[in-house]
Amino acid sequence: MHSPLPLHDTATLRRLEARGIAACDGDAFALMARAGQAAWRSVLRHWPRAHRLVVACGPGNNGGDGYVLARHALEAGRSVRVIVLSEPATDLARHARDAFVAAGGVVARGDAALGDADLIVDALFGIGLSRALEGRAAALVESINAHPAPVLALDVPSGVDADRGHAPGVAVVADRTLQFIARHRGLRTGAALDHAGELELAGLDLPEAVFDGVAPDALAWRADALPAFFPLRARNSHKGRNGHVLCIGGDAGGGGAVLMAAEAALRCGAGLASVATRAVHVPGVLARRPEVMAHAVEGVGDLLPTLAQADVIAIGPGLGREAWGHGLLAVVLGQSTPRVVDADALNLLAANQWTLAEGDIATPHPGEAARLLGVDTATVQRDRFAAVAALQARLGCSVVLKGAGTLIASAGAPIAVVCAGNPGMATGGMGDVLAGAIAALRAQGLSPHDAAVAGALLHGAAGDAAARDEGERGLLPSDLLPWLRRLANPVRR
């Protein structure tokens, strides 16, 4: 079992950097020297046979790190070409450049050809850049991306916003990104996932005291943390102890969605699962999954008897936005039973400006999030951290903002970043499975935040495991169901 990784925003990273310099007796270049040496060690670990290196250095201290790396490579007998956009703009970068030149290094202008490099190092722009690259900088990045050599980015791929995970324009596509001192929150979500490659951390041998009193801005949850959420059950356990999930949805043509939610709830350990859906879907539900208790609901009156039996309600899969779904949601919002609110239930919330209770969990994708916040989807994706925080404030409950690098916000907790899942999961019905998984864990006694984190992490890990079998393309939501069960029963030695 592993704990989540602490993630930080740019402002906090600046504070940590200042503390790091203080820990080096106030010698800022000593810290830069450690960063450049750590970068060289990363090259030796991952590309030991790379003899021809091109290091692209920017004008700031990120470029200084690149000059230090280039000097180490040169002194080790490698062929090194440093390409720059302009002269160094900081004293530290100038010091690093001068040391490289004194060692016999040559600096070329940024419009020089990259040549036949075995490895390209991106040391152009660091964590402070949040605008789109333009002109010669953009052209150099495009040349780097077009080159066949692997790319190591120092601290952050140039062009990626380290705070938000957004790439406002062209950005380096790295094979590996080496972060310094602490992990950047923005590299774990959104567009950054297509640019950062494998992530690595160099702590620069700083003492633990540097981090004293510095709380993480977010936490990165990986699949190896799953066992902590799934303790062994008592031998005398029974179905009543494991919760009854009621899944409500499935207007005309949407019966499959609500059934997948109920199946996921059962595979994640719910003691009982019921479905409230249109009468036309009941035979199909029972034929596919006889363990599900199916109720024909043609109106609010049909729903009321089933509500009292549920420990958790999952509403939204296949619900639709017509009068049938609107009426059922209005009744459910009047109950005190904890809810997982998904899909069209969220669109109805947005249209009616309804809120939820503290014990509820909302699971919007970016489009639904945009409707809830009254913005467009691009605005949500430009700053997913701000969006999930705004959703939590708007709805008053835990919020799971789905997508690449799913984010979870709850009052009083650091934002959780789910480091699991793959592009094959971008298909209709995956969210229905997630809603059922989260509802099952909530029904088994997890807090709203823990149920959201564990459910999203389990869902993403199941998607990864299913994709390993036969690939990402063509992955179906139902392919996750057996893996949900397997991963919810971690082996203990």
Grade residue 340 by pLDDT with cuts at 50, 70 and 90: very high
Question: If you count DSSP H runs as helices and E runs as strands, how many of each does the chain have, helices first?
Answer: 16, 19
Give the mean pLDDT of 470-493.
90
Q: Is the pLDDT of residue 313 over 70?
A: yes
Predicted confidence (pLDDT) at residue 367 exceeds the cutoff of 50? yes
Question: Which has the minimum average pLDDT: 100-104, 115-119, 193-197, 351-355?
Answer: 351-355
State the pLDDT at residue 84: 95
- The sheet with strand 272-277 has its strands ordered as 183-184, 5-8, 218-221, 415-418, 407-409, 398-401, 361-362, 339-341, 312-315, 244-248, 272-277, 293-296
For the stretch 259-312, pLDDT in tens is 999 999 999 999 999 999 999 999 999 999 999 999 999 999 999 999 999 999
Report pLDDT for 23.
96
pLDDT number for residue 492 = 57
Dist. CA 296–CA 122, nearest whole Å: 60
Helix (H, G, I), strand (E, B) or coil at 403: coil
Whether 152 contacts 176, CB under 8 Å: yes
Give the model confidence (pLDDT) of 85-140 as tens digits. 999 999 999 999 999 999 999 999 877 778 899 999 999 999 988 899 999 999 99
Task: Reduce the DSSP state of residue 59 to 3 states and report it.
Answer: coil
Please check whether residue 154 is in contact with residue 178, taking contact to mean a CB–CB distance below 8 angstroms. yes
For residue 150, the model assigns a pLDDT of 98
Burial class of residue 291 in the structure, from the number of CB atoms within 10 Å of its CB (0-12 exposed, 13-18 middle, 19+ buried):
exposed
Give the chain's length: 493
Rounded CA-CA distance 404/402 in Å is 7
Lowest mean pLDDT across 50-54, 75-79, 236-240? 236-240
SS3 state at 68: helix
Give the phi and the psi of residue 141 in degrees, each rounded to 5: -65, -40
371, 350 contact by CB (below 8 A): yes
Concatenating the DSSP letter of every residue in 79-148 gives EEEEEESS---SHHHHHHHHHHHHTT--EEETTS---S-SEEEEES--TT--SPP-HHHHHHHHHHHHSS
Q: Which pLDDT score is estimated for 493?
A: 43
